[in-house]
């Protein structure tokens, strides 16, 4: 693995789990999969858990309906990345004492609507009272083949795809946390469960974009010891509304890939020799994957910017939220300074350690 511990979040996770005993039934190692994969007799079980807390406390999610929708979606997205079919979700809800009844109804409606959308069920959970609203979901799925899709397996010259356009998550975050205008509305991402069958057949690795494109590609690079080179027509993969929004704010569009609030699309790789078969089956199933680039031997993320192919300092980008203590204005300022450096010194190599 290529210096996973250079990323502060990875280092924290490794420290937390250092004394934990791994289940003999667990097939994946830490960091290798969006969901945990357990073999039970002849069945593969996918299990994942995620919380929504910081997003609420920071004001990113202030609509109870969206909170309910997201607690289901973030967990379904992890199941989608490993090719699992959902069995259901358990949800823990910590609800403030003075939470208004109409807000509580909207919260539960968001959960219900999301479950209906993904054809899954709330299997149970827990309720408690606390100072702040916090939701935690644990989703369970079944993998109907003898192996799952993991984050490991891509090879040089594999083609990199996204399941849909990118950037809406970070545009929404800018709207809520920085410009504070609510001018980028209607953020309601969908977990890409519809890709499970075709990706199980063709994908060599997969990860969702819950933390944005650059974080996703960087983690895949560190796990596979190969890098990625993105195409010149990369702007075609940006959500149209997000692209226009960034232009109106004079924010470089590539920053929509750098921020760590994603849109829950899937990033996956397809071997070049099966590309045509994959695309044929995808289109037959009304799927519209977008080609992003290719896997390369060099352990770096190369993005075409300002008429140059830039090797991005992805370690800097990924560690920046922690190093700026989640100060979103300082965070954006540092990203804009990095963009200025790229624009004015395009020949510099920004290789991730």
Q: Which CATH number does the domain housing residue 301 bear? A: 3.90.650.10
Three-state secondary-structure class, residue 29: coil
The reply to whether 321 and 176 lie within a common domain is: yes
Averaged over 107-122, what is the pLDDT? 98
Same domain, 166 and 136: no
Characterize the bridge pairing of strands 122-130 and 43-52. Answer: unpaired
Q: Are the C-beta atoms of residues 212 and 169 closer than 8 Å to each other?
A: yes
Task: Give the residue from 96, 117, 143 where a domain finishes.
Answer: 143
Q: Are residues 34 and 166 in the same domain?
A: no
pLDDT tens digit string along 157-208? 999 999 999 999 999 999 999 887 767 888 999 999 999 999 999 999 999 9
Residue 172 maps to a domain: yes
Report helix, strand or coil for 239: coil
Give this prediction's pTM. 0.96
Residue 16 lies in a domain: no
Q: What is the layout of strands, in order, in the sheet containing 122-130?
A: 36-40, 43-52, 134-143, 85-96, 122-130
**Of 302, 304, 265, which is closest to residue 170 (Cα–Cα)?**
265
**Whether residue 196 is found in the same domain as residue 328:** yes
Q: Give dist(CA 37, CA 247) in Å, integer.
A: 42
Residue 135's nearest CA partner among 127, 147, 143 is: 127
Domain count, the chain: 2
What per-residue confidence (pLDDT) applies to 185? Answer: 80
* pLDDT tens-digit readout, 67-90: 999 999 999 999 999 999 999 999
Task: For residue 149, tell me if it sits in a domain.
Answer: no
Asked if the structure places residue 9 within a domain, the reply is no
Distance CA 116, CA 160 (A): 31
Domain hosting residue 303, numbered range? 159-344
Within a domain: residue 97? Answer: yes
Residue 1 has pLDDT above 60, yes or no: no
- Tell me how many helices (H) and strands (E) the chain has: 12, 12
Q: Are residues 129 and 266 in the same domain?
A: no
Q: Classify residue 131: in a domain, yes or no.
A: yes
Domain co-membership, 241 together with 196: yes
Instruction: Give the count of beta carbons closer than 10 Å to the beta carbon of residue 237.
Output: 22
């Amino acid at each position: 693995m290529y210096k996973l511990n250079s990323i502060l979040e990875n280092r924290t996770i490794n420290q937390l789990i250092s004394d934990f005993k791994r289940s003999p039934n667990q097939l994946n190692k830490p960091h290798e999969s969006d969901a945990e994969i357990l073999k039970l007799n002849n069945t593969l079980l996918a299990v994942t858990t995620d919380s929504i807390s910081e997003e609420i406390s920071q004001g990113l999610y202030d609509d109870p309906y969206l909170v309910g929708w997201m607690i289901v979606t973030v967990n379904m997205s992890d199941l989608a990345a490993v090719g699992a079919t959902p069995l259901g979700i358990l949800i823990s809800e910590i609800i403030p004492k003075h939470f208004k009844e109409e807000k509580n109804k909207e919260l539960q409606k968001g959960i219900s609507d999301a479950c209906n959308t993904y054809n899954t069920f709330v299997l149970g959970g827990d309720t408690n009272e606390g100072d702040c609203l916090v939701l935690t979901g644990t989703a369970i799925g079944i993998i109907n083949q003898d192996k799952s899709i993991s984050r490991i397996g891509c090879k040089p010259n594999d083609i990199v795809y996204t399941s849909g356009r990118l950037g809406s998550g970070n545009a929404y975050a800018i709207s809520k946390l920085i410009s504070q205008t609510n001018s980028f509305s209607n953020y309601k991402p969908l977990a890409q469960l519809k890709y499970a069958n075709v990706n199980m057949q063709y994908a060599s690795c997969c990860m969702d974009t819950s933390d944005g494109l650059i974080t996703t590609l960087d983690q895949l690079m560190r796990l596979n010891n190969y890098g990625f080179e993105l195409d010149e027509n990369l702007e075609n993969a940006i959500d149209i509304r997000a692209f226009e929004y960034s232009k109106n704010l004079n924010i470089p569009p590539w920053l929509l890939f750098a921020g760590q609030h994603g849109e829950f699309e899937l990033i996956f790789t397809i071997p070049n020799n099966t590309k045509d078969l994959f695309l044929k089956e995808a289109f037959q199933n009304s799927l519209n994957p977008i080609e992003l680039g290719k896997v390369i031997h060099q352990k770096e993320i190369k993005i075409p910017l300002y008429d140059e192919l830039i090797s991005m300092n992805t370690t800097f980008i990924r560690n920046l939220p922690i190093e700026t203590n989640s100060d979103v204005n300082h965070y954006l300022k540092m990203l804009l300074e990095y963009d200025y450096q790229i624009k004015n010194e395009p020949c510099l190599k920004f290789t991730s350690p």
